[in-house]
């Protein structure tokens, strides 16, 4: 894989540029240059995705290692980490879309994206478009579509997923917060939890099976679980098995589904401790 610095201009960042960077409110930590000692400078975001690990390593999101010649759409790109990462992995065209005009609130607007774009001398395109308004007539189709951390923010996720699928030629990667509080994760459910986690822009939380069912309904018939931590997961939803092979070769990602802890097991442990080691009957 290309080195992390391959897309970073070799020049050192001057004081004025560093000051400009620190005036922006960032979510992503994006490598944008080097300091006077030659060390990589990252934008001061809250979450680090680097291929070197970080809080949420890119492996959680299912990006193919090599995107040479592929076209990519990044929905809800925010500061643009995944768009720039797709470009770094060789994508021939990357379009980033977001609704985050400079509106404050939870999301930081496009200042971060524009700053990183300039420093990386990036060719990533940006359009201020909502996921609902994606159509093949206006945008064409993209080999891969990224939709990371967006679906719980839309009031009508099925309409959003249908629009996303309409511009997906091969694979849509959706990363989302999950509904983990069900015993059987194979149930295709979506929980409506407006304002969950203290965020008034949060609405819907699927199980993995719920997301897979919605993707299938929208015409993306072949899904693979890429990552599942219980509270979040990533699903690769493709037009067909051939589309998965086209995106990943023989290295199609596949994760084990999260297994919720048996609440009885926890109850039994506590009860055993309280009873001084004596066993209790299991109810289920």
The answer to whether 157 contacts ligand SAM (rule: CB under 6 A) is no
CB of 209 to ligand SAM, least distance (A): 22
Of 75 and 171, CB closest to ligand SAM: 75
Q: Taking the complex as a whole, how short is the minimal distance between the CB of residue 212 and ligand SAM, in angstroms?
A: 20
> Is 107 a residue that touches ligand SAM (CB under 6 A)?
yes
* Gap between the Cα atoms of 119 and 22, Å rounded: 14
Q: Applying CB under 6 A, does 153 fall inside the site for ligand SAM? A: yes
For 6, the 3-state DSSP assignment is: helix
For the chain, the 3-state helix, strand and coil shares in percent, each to the nearest 5, are: 30, 20, 50
CA distance 257 to 227: 8
254 SS3 class: coil
Please work out, in degrees rounded to the nearest 5, the angle formed at the alpha carbon of residue 181 by the alpha carbons of 156 and 226.
70
Which residues fall within 8 angstroms of residue 82, CB to CB, at 6 or more apart? 49, 61, 63, 74, 146, 148
Q: How far is the CB of 28 from ligand SAM (least distance, A)?
A: 6
Q: In what order do the strands lie in the sheet with 125-127?
A: 125-127, 93-97, 71-75, 142-148, 168-177, 232-238, 222-228
CB of 55 to ligand SAM, least distance (A): 11
The residue (of 48 and 268) whose beta carbon lies closer to ligand SAM is 48
Minimum distance from CB of 174 to ligand SAM (Å)?
A: 11
Q: Exactly one of 17, 40, 130, 245 binds ligand SAM (CB under 6 A); which one?
A: 130
Interface pattern 55-94 for ligand SAM (x via CB under 6 A): --------------------xxxx----------------
Residues 201-220 touching ligand SAM, rule: CB under 6 A, are none
Torsion, CA 47, CA 52, CA 58, CA 59, rounded to 10: -140
Q: What part of residues 87-106 is at the interface with ligand SAM (CB under 6 A)?
A: 98-100
114 part of the interface to ligand SAM, by CB under 6 A = no
Strand spans (E) along 116-180:
125-127, 142-148, 168-177
Q: Which residue's Cβ lies closest to ligand SAM?
A: 76
**Cα–Cα distance measured from residue 10 to residue 203, given in angstroms and rounded to the nearest whole number:** 43
Taking the complex as a whole, how short is the minimal distance between the CB of residue 120 and ligand SAM, in angstroms? Answer: 17
Segments in the chain forming alpha helices (H): 15-22, 81-88, 111-119, 136-139, 157-166, 208-217, 241-248, 263-274
Nearer to ligand SAM, 75 or 246 (CB): 75
Residue closer to ligand SAM, measured from CB, 75 or 209: 75
Nearer Cβ to ligand SAM (33/149): 149
**Which of 67, 73, 95, 131 is close enough to bind ligand SAM by CB under 6 A?**
131
Distance CA 217, CA 168 (A): 14
Residue 164 or 244: the one with the smaller Cβ distance to ligand SAM is 164
Q: Which residues bind ligand SAM (CB under 6 A)?
A: 75-78, 98-100, 107, 130-132, 148-150, 153-154
């Amino acid at each position: 894989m290309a080195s992390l610095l391959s897309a970073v201009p070799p020049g050192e960042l001057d004081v004025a540029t560093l000051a400009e960077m620190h005036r922006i409110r960032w979510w992503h930590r994006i490598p944008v240059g080097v300091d006077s000692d030659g060390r990589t400078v990252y934008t001061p975001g809250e979450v680090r995705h680097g291929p070197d690990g970080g809080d949420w390593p890119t492996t959680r999101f299912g990006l193919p290692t090599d995107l040479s010649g592929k076209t990519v759409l990044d929905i809800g790109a925010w500061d643009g980490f995944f768009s720039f990462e797709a470009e770094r992995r060789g994508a021939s065209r990357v379009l980033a879309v977001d609704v985050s005009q400079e509106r404050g609130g939870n999301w930081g607007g496009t200042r971060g994206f524009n700053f990183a774009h300039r420093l990386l001398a990036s060719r990533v395109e940006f359009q201020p478009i909502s996921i609902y308004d994606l159509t093949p007539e206006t945008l064409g189709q993209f080999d891969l579509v990224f939709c990371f951390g967006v679906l719980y923010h839309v009031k009508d996720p099925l309409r959003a997923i249908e629009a996303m699928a309409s511009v997906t030629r091969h694979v849509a990667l959706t990363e989302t917060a999950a509904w983990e509080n069900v015993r059987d994760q194979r149930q295709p459910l979506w929980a409506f939890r407006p304002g969950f986690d203290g965020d008034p822009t949060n609405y819907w939380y699927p199980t993995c099976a719920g997301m897979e069912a919605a993707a299938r309904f929208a015409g993306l018939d072949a899904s693979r679980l890429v990552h599942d931590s219980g509270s979040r997961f990533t699903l690769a939803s493709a037009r067909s098995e051939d589309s998965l092979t086209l995106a990943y070769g023989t290295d199609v990602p596949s994760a084990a589904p999260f297994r919720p802890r048996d609440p009885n097991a926890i109850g039994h442990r506590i009860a055993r401790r309280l009873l001084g080691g004596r066993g209790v009957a299991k109810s289920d």
